Structure 1
Amino acid sequence: MSSSFRSRLQRFSAARLSPEGAAGLHLSAGMLALLVGVLAFGLIAEDVVTGAPLTVLDVDIANWLHARATAGMTRFMLGVSFFHGGVAGAVLALALLAVFYVRKMHWWLLAGLIILPGGSLLNVLIKYCFQRARPTFHTPLLTLDTYSFPSGHTAFAAMLYGLLACALLAHLRGTWARLAVVVAAAAMVALVGVSRMYLGVHYLSDVLAASAEGCIWLALCITTVSTLRRRRQGRAAGP
């Protein structure tokens, strides 16, 4: 390996890991998250299509949850599900976008306008690609006629709370505060996913794939918007 090649490689690596610039660390981290998400979604989707052992676990967990349903827990899970889909979900999304607008977080507002409606449309398209039937029970807690894979409510939660977490992480500096934000966002996504499984309208693989889908779309959109912002700032700053 020539010294000139090593030098170019070192400069390229340093640029990719630099927190500055339009193609620095943020782009590298975004692409890594995107690749991990695509890999996770692909593996889950392959298991669903081929009827791998994951689908057996799906049924076992669905039956286990359904057999242990109680009136109080059902009401709670219906509430969680209600607030992350349909009109209530749209209100949550608009509330977050309104916060971005009022606080003049214009680039985050742009990201949100792409992520939330675009991600919902993407989820519908994926559902029609796989056309997986929902779980069935003799006495269902909730009945839906749409397709099951991946979970739209879980994908929406991943995008909504993921977007909020990313915006907060960009402004927080304390390690513990950042960790609390990440844990809280992950917990909310998990709660929504569990609510859909508990209500018997989704399998475990639906929820896991939806989480991966939400992360993929989130990483792609935020990385793209961030790169555009940095390039614009770089041009405004001049040489």
Structure 2
Amino acid sequence: MEHQIFNKFVRFIEARLSPSGEFGLHLTLGLALLLVSGAIFGDLAEDVMGKEAITVLDLQVAHWFHAHAFEPLTSFMLGVSWVHTGYGMAVLVAALGWYFWRVKARYWLLALLVAVPTGAALNVALKYYFQRTRPVFDDPLVTLATYSFPSGHAAASTVFYGLLASYLVIARPHWHVRLGTAVGCSLMVLLVAFSRVYLGAHFMSDVLAGMAESVAWLAVCITAISTLRRRREGRTV
């Protein structure tokens, strides 16, 4: 009896780690990523709403960057931030969507069309739930009337560049291309997040929460669509 239970457990683990199974490795990794990033977001939200030590660090970081802002860095950060506004993201998403359509990557196109708008809606809902005010300065570099937590720019860039990196890592066979893609997309997300803190549009915890939020949501979307693809392909075999 114990031997049978052990064999079932081994088969279950093997199925969860199988790269080809419908509910195999991709689902296991997606669930793990969802749990980790979700836990990070939850901890950040709890600390921010409870006014824990991170809120003190937020203020210190925000005022330090505001006091040390200088040209041409400020103009560059404004440009980075502008490119990743709603209009800028729409252009980036349209360009990537056109590329997916051109190379017939229909499931990646579906992931893009699902993840980006729903991720944006999720971010807005979270902002109104937490209702955290933005940093306040006597002479602000940018002025926004919306709520601060979590950062929409950080969230949107994480979804977009995370999806792009996931596609290229899977689609490109050479390890140096995969590594370069992962590093490049990660740096872009960090650059966008940094621009929001530098410009005083967000606190540091806002951008961290925005990234964690979108990693969790991207894991859900990619895993779901990957499972859909595997199920449909399994039916045609």
TM-score range, shorter chain: over 0.9
What is the one-letter code of the residue matched to 1:128?
A: Y
Corresponding residue number in structure 2 for 1:233: 233
Q: Which residue of 1 aligns with 2:146?
A: 146
- Once the two structures are overlaid, the 10-residue window that deviates more, 185-194 or 170-179, is 170-179
Which residue matches 1:28? 28
Whether the 8 Å contact between 1:21 and 1:231 is mirrored in structure 2 is: no
Q: Distance in 1 between matches of 2:39 and 2:52?
A: 17
After superposition, what is the alpha-carbon deviation per residue over 1:137-181, rounded to whole angstroms, capped at 9, x for unaligned? 001000000000000011000000000000101112333322221
Superposed counterparts of 1:204-215, under 5 Å = 204-215=204-215
Q: 2 CA distance for matches of 1:184 and 1:217?
A: 21
How many matched pairs? 237
Question: What residue number does 1:178 align with?
Answer: 178
Q: 2: distance between equivalents of 1:70 and 1:168? A: 36
Alignment-mate amino acid for residue 144 of structure 1: L
Superposition pairs of residues 52-201 of structure 1, within 5 angstroms: 52-201=52-201
One-letter amino acid matched to 1:6 = F
Paired-residue identity, %: 51
Root-mean-square deviation over aligned CA pairs: 0.9
Deviation at 1:88, TM superposition (A): 1.4
What runs of 5+ residues in structure 1 fail to find an aligned partner? none
CA distance in 1, matches of 2:42, 2:62: 22
Q: Distance in 1 between matches of 2:103 and 2:178?
A: 20
- Partners of 1:30 and 1:17 in 2: CA distance: 12
Q: CA deviation at 1:71?
A: 2.6
CA distance, structure 2, for counterparts of residue 91 and residue 178 of structure 1: 24
If the length of structure 2 is used for normalisation, what is the TM-score? 0.98
Contact 1:126 1:150 in 2 (8 A): yes
- Residues 190-199 or 180-189, more deviating: 180-189
Deviations 1:46-90 (A, max 9, x none): 110000101110000000000011131111000000000121121
Q: Distance in 1 between matches of 2:179 and 2:25?
A: 20
Q: Secondary structure at the match of 2:147?
A: coil
Distance 2:104 2:140 in 1: 46
Distance 1:30 1:221 in 2: 9
For the residues of structure 2 that align with 1:177 and 1:17, how far apart are their CA atoms?
25
